[in-house]
Amino acid sequence: EAGVTQFPSHSVIEKGQTVTLRCDPISGHDNLYWYRRVMGKEIKFLLHFVKESKQDESGMPNNRFLAERTGGTYSTLKVQPAELEDSGVYFCASSHQWRATSYNEQFFGPGTRLTVL
Amino acid sequence: LAKTTQPISMDSYEGQEVNITCSHNNIATNDYITWYQQFPSQGPRFIIQGYKTKVTNEVASLFIPADRKSSTLSLPRVSLSDTAVYYCLVGDAVNYGGSQGNLIFGKGTKLSVKP
């Protein structure tokens, strides 16, 4: 079974440009999460989809970030316009639909390294 | 979610047993303790989870004392490939991966295994 995949693996853009990151979760996983780690900081939660609906977007830093998950399959995270402080590694994770009696392990992708110059 | 404290880094030699301790003084009754492992250029990967006493799987063991204010991840006979960052997370397991399942990572412990 394929794991969580992310594209691209690395993106270098200039300040003010737009970048779109893509995440393909494990097939059948309803939960999809975005996290990011900026230089020298901890991995921070951005948002959580359940199927195509945004369950929790409390971690989104500002309105320059837009996440979508049309059809409840893959997800995109767009940064527009990108700023220098957006540089970091963006991780996507997925898990099974919530089960109240068991631990729903999150499976992470390899991340997309974003560099804003 | 409870705050966790771990060593910033640890060094070990191949074949040794490595124990990484995590402090979580404010752990709540419903909280579980979960450890993730992250290799360079990869995303974090679930290792083990426990609530109390001892849990063992094919990768590691997790020791949790009765007061649950700390926990110890034990890696038996480490190899070079165990060099990674290890994260201790504490939270309500039911909500971890479910509808409120945003994981909160600390700085982790960077383990370096040398030949």
pLDDT, position B99: 40
Q: Is A59 on the interface with B (CB under 8 A)?
A: yes
Query: Between chains, do B94 and A100 touch, taking CB under 8 Å as contact?
Result: yes
Tokens of A93: 């994770």
Residue of B nearest to A49 (CA): B99
pLDDT for residue A64 is more than 60:
yes
Give B23→chain A minimum CA distance, Å.
17
Encode B32-69: b = buried (16+ Cβ within 10 Å), e = exposed.
bbbbbbbeeeebbbbbbbbeeeebeeeebbbbbeeebe
pLDDT for residue B94 is more than 60:
no
pLDDT, position A39: 85
Query: How far apart are the C-alpha atoms of B112 and A65, rounded to whole Å?
Result: 36
Pairing, β B109-114 against β B9-13: parallel
Half-sphere exposure of B41 (CA within 13 A, CB side): 2
Tokens of B99: 């509808």
Q: What are the C-alpha distances in Å from B92 to residues A5, A64, A90, B100?
A: 27, 31, 24, 10
Query: Between chains, do A110 and B42 touch, taking CB under 8 Å as contact?
Result: yes
> Residue type at B105?
F
Q: Is A50 on the interface with B (CB under 8 A)?
A: yes
Q: Is A106 on the interface with B (CB under 8 A)?
A: yes
Q: How confident is the model at residue B74 (pLDDT cuts 50, 70, 90)?
A: very high
Look up tokens 């979580």; give the residue.
Answer: B24
pLDDT for residue A16 is more than 80:
yes
Query: Between chains, do A98 and B43 touch, taking CB under 8 Å as contact?
Result: no
The whole-chain average pLDDT of chain B stands at 89
Query: How far apart are the C-alpha atoms of A104 and A107, rounded to whole Å?
Result: 9
pLDDT for residue A102 is more than 80:
no
Mean pLDDT of A76-95: 96
DSSP H/E element including B93? helix B93-96
Mean pLDDT of B50-74: 95
For B97, the closest of A35, A44, A95 (CB atoms) is A95
